[in-house]
Structure 1
Amino acid sequence: MIDLIIFIIILIVALIIVIKSADLFVDSLVEVGESLGISQIILGVTASAIGTSLPEFGSAMIAVFSGNPDIGVGVVIGSNIWNIAGILGISSLAAGYIFVKKEELKRDGLMTLLTAAILLIFMVLFNDITRIVGVVLVVVYIIYLYILIKSQHKKSNSEDSEEESSESKKPEISGSGNDLVEEVMVSGRSRNKNILISIAGLAGLILGSRLLVYSGVEIGELTGVPQIIMGLFALAIGTSMPELVVTVRSAMKKMHSLSIGTVLGSNIFNILIGIGIPSLFMTIPVDKLAVSFDAPVMIGVTALLIILSYRKSKLSRIGGAVLISAYVAYIVTRIYLSF
């Protein structure tokens, strides 16, 4: 009993370290991105999504390399289901609604659906996630990043053209060159500081993730809970706390593109990198229920989000309630099937 209490305390401390580290990482990374003129949706599906997904990625990597691959796969699939059905559901209830641009939903929503389908197909075909599967997943993510960069470049060119047109109509204002140099130097110091904070946040994430997996494995063994269940629920929800915080805050501040982008980008990153990178080093065995139930549910809730959001270009409170109800139904059914 004392051992169980100790490991629960370690789990809680690890979660605090992971959440705080992810918060530092995301805040500093987003500031760097904004200083470079990167749009909100691109920040959401890249910097914010990757930063908030590092706990899942770190936990999956460490779980696989420490001989507990069921936890790693469970963390990724469980996090993806929770991100959409739980986090977006809660966010839409808290904010009233989440506005969704159709072009962004077509690109990022369909990409989320596609990556989930690719994972399921490979799981069915190979039973295990092999190095070949890992290569395909990583390559798909690189292609996705290329599409995002191209989209950002096109948006930047369009904004530059509009700005030049606007500036040409304004009277020329003289200013001090020293002021400009000083502004660049201050911006440079700020950016360097943010980079250092990002590195510190990453180090904290690695440490916290290691403690999280270690304590999760020990608690599972002491209580008799299967590793896949620990991964799907306890660790998946725990490591997804950064996404929950960022998404709810963004939705409440009406930063809807950042809110939806963080979740969709996180799900894409979780599958393509969170599973793709570990499988480059070793074959990852897959639980049968993960193939027949968990992965199909992940695809189902993603499709449900698209259906609920596309017609009116927003996820309403009713839509959020539907997603949360779907997650509760999933939890009950999954636990029933496991015992």
Structure 2
Amino acid sequence: MIIGVVLVIALAISLIIVIKSANVFVDNLVEIGGAFGISEIILGVTASAIGTSLPEFGSAVIASLSQSTEIGVGCVIGSNIWNIAGILGLSAIMAGNIGVGSANFRRDFTAPLLTGIVLILFMFLGSIGRFAAFVMILLYLVYFWSLIKAQKDYNRKHEENGGRRKLDPRIVLFAFFGFAGLVVGCRILVYTAVELARIFGVPEMIMGLFTLAIGTSIPEFVVTLSSAIKGLHHLSIGTVLGSNTFNILIGIGVPALIKPIPVDPLALNLDAPVMIMVTILLLLLIRRGEMKLKRSGGIILFTVYLVYAFIRLNGVGYV
């Protein structure tokens, strides 16, 4: 009983740390981007996306090193579904809408969709081996090169419109501490949530598929929601799309270099197709909303996640 109370208090404190750290990180990240002439969307799909994806990446690598490779894949796929249907859905509901720039629409939405399809194709082979790992990592390098090229085009326009702002070293320090607080706070948050789940008798399968996947995506959630509320829509949606691309190509690619990853038939037949489906659904909702994910679209996405969770937990005999 005492342990449970301590965990609840730790959970509340870590949540406050995460929310505050996310605000500091987002505000200063935008300032750094302005100083270096980096566009908001590029910041989202690179620095913010990679930074907030470290928990999923770390979980996948640790799972591979501990011979539990299936857990790593489940965490990545589960996180990607939650990122779109849960995080963007809730963020749109709370913020009212999330706008998308038409100039980057095709590139940034094509990347997570194609990487999801590539993952499914390799999953059909029965395991994700080193050849698949090399292909995935190479694809990410190509994607990253396209971002650098887009940034150069942005810099030319940016310099024509007045040049870059001066960078205050304190901004870099604040951004670092904001991100550090985000990592530490999320680690405590995930630990306390898992321990509370064990105390209340939640099955390990459910913990792995949902508690770990959602828990490791907390950085994306707080950064995306904070950005959406502040009106930094490109940073908000860029964080999720960039994170999903990074999660698959690097989050699965690097662990597959360490050890081939066997494929769970249920992940191939249900989880991966749902990941593709919610990505396509997001595209359709944004086009229908005139390049905005509106509150109604957010409700649809989050409802889809709840239906998926219900089917996954009740329709396959795990409960």
Contact kept, 8 Å, 1:84 with 1:302, in 2: the verdict is yes
Deviations 1:18-52 (A, max 9, x none): 94797476665554333212110111111111111
Alignment partner of 1:274: what SS?
A: coil
Q: Which moved more, 1:66-75 or 1:129-138?
A: 66-75
Is 1:301 the counterpart of 2:278 in the alignment? Answer: yes
Is 1:152 the counterpart of 2:151 in the alignment? Answer: yes
The equivalent position to 1:313 in structure 2, one of 288, 291, 294, is: 291
Distance 2:277 2:183 in 1: 35
Contact kept, 8 Å, 2:130 with 2:260, in 1: the verdict is yes
Distance 1:249 1:202 in 2: 13
Which ranges of structure 1 fall in alignment gaps of 5 or more residues? 165-182
Is 1:208 the counterpart of 2:187 in the alignment? Answer: yes
The equivalent residue for 2:307 is 329
Alignment partner of 1:119: what SS?
A: helix
The equivalent residue for 1:289 is 266
TM-score (norm 1): 0.79
Contact kept, 8 Å, 2:37 with 2:158, in 1: the verdict is no
The equivalent position to 1:256 in structure 2, one of 220, 233, 237, is: 233
The equivalent residue for 2:87 is 87
Q: Which moved more, 1:102-111 or 1:300-309?
A: 102-111
The equivalent residue for 1:225 is 203
Q: Which moved more, 1:73-82 or 1:32-41?
A: 32-41
Distance 1:6 1:268, change over 3 A: farther
Matched AA of 1:273: I
The equivalent residue for 2:96 is 96
Note the C-alpha offset of 1:190.
2.8
Note the C-alpha offset of 1:162.
4.0
Note the C-alpha offset of 1:307.
0.8
Contact kept, 8 Å, 1:134 with 1:276, in 2: the verdict is yes
Matched AA of 2:173: K
Matched AA of 1:327: Y
Contact kept, 8 Å, 1:85 with 1:323, in 2: the verdict is yes
Distance 1:269 1:54, change over 3 A: same
Equivalent residue runs for 1:14-163 within 5 Å: 19=18, 23=22, 29-125=29-125, 127-163=126-162
Note the C-alpha offset of 1:69.
2.2
Distance 2:73 2:195 in 1: 14
Note the C-alpha offset of 1:13.
8.9
Q: Which moved more, 1:61-70 or 1:40-49?
A: 61-70
If you compute each CA radius of gyration, which structure gives the higher value, 1 or 2? 1
Distance 2:135 2:70 in 1: 21
Contact kept, 8 Å, 1:10 with 1:212, in 2: the verdict is no
The equivalent position to 1:272 in structure 2, one of 231, 249, 260, is: 249
Note the C-alpha offset of 1:219.
6.2
Contact kept, 8 Å, 2:128 with 2:263, in 1: the verdict is yes
Note the C-alpha offset of 1:324.
1.0
Matched AA of 2:136: L
Alignment partner of 2:71: what SS?
A: helix
Distance 1:338 1:267, change over 3 A: farther
Alignment partner of 1:32: what SS?
A: helix
Contact kept, 8 Å, 1:69 with 1:285, in 2: the verdict is yes
The equivalent residue for 1:236 is 213
Note the C-alpha offset of 1:279.
1.2
Contact kept, 8 Å, 2:75 with 2:213, in 1: the verdict is yes
Distance 1:11 1:237 in 2: 18
Equivalent residue runs for 1:170-185 within 5 Å: none
Alignment partner of 1:315: what SS?
A: strand
Note the C-alpha offset of 1:63.
2.3
Matched AA of 1:44: G
TM-score (norm 2): 0.84
The equivalent residue for 1:168 is none
Contact kept, 8 Å, 1:31 with 1:194, in 2: the verdict is no
Equivalences, count: 314
Distance 2:260 2:196 in 1: 23
Deviations 1:206-258 (A, max 9, x none): x938x95899599679947244x323211111121221111122212221111
